[in-house]
Amino acid sequence: MTLSKYFILIAEIVLAGLAVCTIQFPLRKITNKIIHVLLFLVKFFLLTGIAYELIADASPFVWKYDFPISAVYLALLADLSADILYLLSAILLKKKGYKVKVILTMILLTVISSYSIINMQVVSANRHEIISDKLKNDYRFVFISDLHYGSSQSKATVDKTLKKISEEKPDFLLLGGDITDEHTYPDEAEYLYEQISKIGVPVYFIYGNHDRQERGEYLGSKRMSEKQLEDAIINHGIQILYENFEMINDDLILLGREDPSHPKERKAVKDLPVWPKDRYVICMDHTPYQNDEIKEVGADLQLSGHTHAGQLFPLKTLYALAGLNVVGDYHIGDFDLYVSPGVSGWYLPLRNESHCYYEVFELSPR
């Protein structure tokens, strides 16, 4: 994201806020409370639909007009929040009038937009401790997913994050997919994987649903070929786990799955390579929704990303209501699944659901 794009986004957010306030002006004159309740519900469902389109569906139309649509999303979120505060102020402070409502909306729009933009640039560590009878050695490793380099975070933020990961002194690093996306150029991928390799530990990679720029045509054409991406990864000493596994010492196995967006390349569980069953098995699978496969694979721990913990309100709640694994720990059968909120998010430099995290795991024998 360049500075000029941020200025464009901010201008569009202000215009969207004013437009949302202006369009509602005739309805605000109506005293019928039912009309106001219906208006609130319409705005909420419109907000939810726009958030879903921006992050989960991402049709070609959204890719083309992503900033204006996201500005409308923020304006609606601020306006709905202002509706609630306006109601409270009318009851408690006896403050009424359309000017009060407009002022509240614009103040909240500033606060919510600022938080959403800043929150995308702040990355922290989530820490986990696991003890198992299968382990003979202690391990510390870092898992990151959904970096989307060249997209929603600045280069300075990514460099700072990699420095913090290096300071964790992990034994190895796991890259859980969508490390790049359709907006990434070859030189950016080269730079990123070079910096990752400089951490100086073994690095293992799986593909997500964006790495290979499957929807690059939405931007006019792909910015990077699959060969360029693969070369950038392999030439910097990073191992791609492609429906295979790697043994670490004699007690730990790393298994990497192909993303479900490539069903022809993704093997059935019965066709996966056979590994010693007395080892502790970590399975990386970018998408966390395949509950039956998680049980069948028989891994002790599956690490996934993909969801961004919703990224935009209220998607986290929507996913959870739909019964999906959104973020955090899940126990599936006899195995554990951890869904990371991700170290960044998809193209839009906006995040108001959860924060950005990389995951630090400490494995120890019992």
Question: Does 350 score more than 80 pLDDT?
Answer: yes
Give the pLDDT mean for 321-343.
Answer: 94
Which residues lie below 8 Å from residue 3, measured CB to CB, with a gap of 6+? none
pLDDT for res 114: 97
In the structure, what pLDDT confidence band is assigned to residue 98 with cuts at 50, 70 and 90?
confident
pLDDT per position as a tens digit, 261-300: 999 999 999 999 999 889 999 999 999 999 999 999 989 9
N- to C-terminal Cα distance for the chain?
46
Question: Does 145 score more than 70 pLDDT?
Answer: yes
Per-residue b or e along 296-322, where b marks 16 or more CB atoms closer than 10 Å to that residue's CB: ebbbbbbbbbbbbbbbbbbbbebbeee
Give the pLDDT mean for 143-170.
Answer: 97
> Interhelix angle for 186-197 vs 155-167, to 10°?
20
Whether 255 contacts 275, CB under 8 Å: yes
Full DSSP string of 22-40 = HHTHHHHT---HHHHHHHH
pLDDT for res 57: 83
Q: Which of 26-40, 151-165, 168-182 shows the lowest per-residue confidence on average (mean pLDDT)?
A: 26-40
Q: Is 361 helix (H, G, I), strand (E, B) or coil?
A: strand
pLDDT per position as a tens digit, 125-142: 999 999 999 999 999 999
Question: Does 5 score more than 70 pLDDT?
Answer: yes
Q: Which structural domains are found in the chain, ordered by start?
A: 3-119 (no CATH), 124-365 (3.60.21.10)
pLDDT for res 359: 98
In the structure, what pLDDT confidence band is assigned to residue 102 with cuts at 50, 70 and 90?
confident
Q: Is the peptide bond before 68 cis (omega within 30 degrees of 0)?
A: no
In the structure, what pLDDT confidence band is assigned to residue 92 with cuts at 50, 70 and 90?
low
pLDDT per position as a tens digit, 178-212: 999 999 999 999 999 999 999 999 999 999 999 99
253 or 88, higher pLDDT? 253
Only one residue has tokens 């964790």, namely: 168
Instruction: Say what the pTM is.
Output: 0.93
pLDDT for res 96: 63
Q: Which of 41-45, 53-57, 193-197, 307-311 shows the lowest per-residue confidence on average (mean pLDDT)?
A: 53-57
Q: Is 182 helix (H, G, I), strand (E, B) or coil?
A: coil
Mean pLDDT over each residue of the chain, to the nearest integer = 93
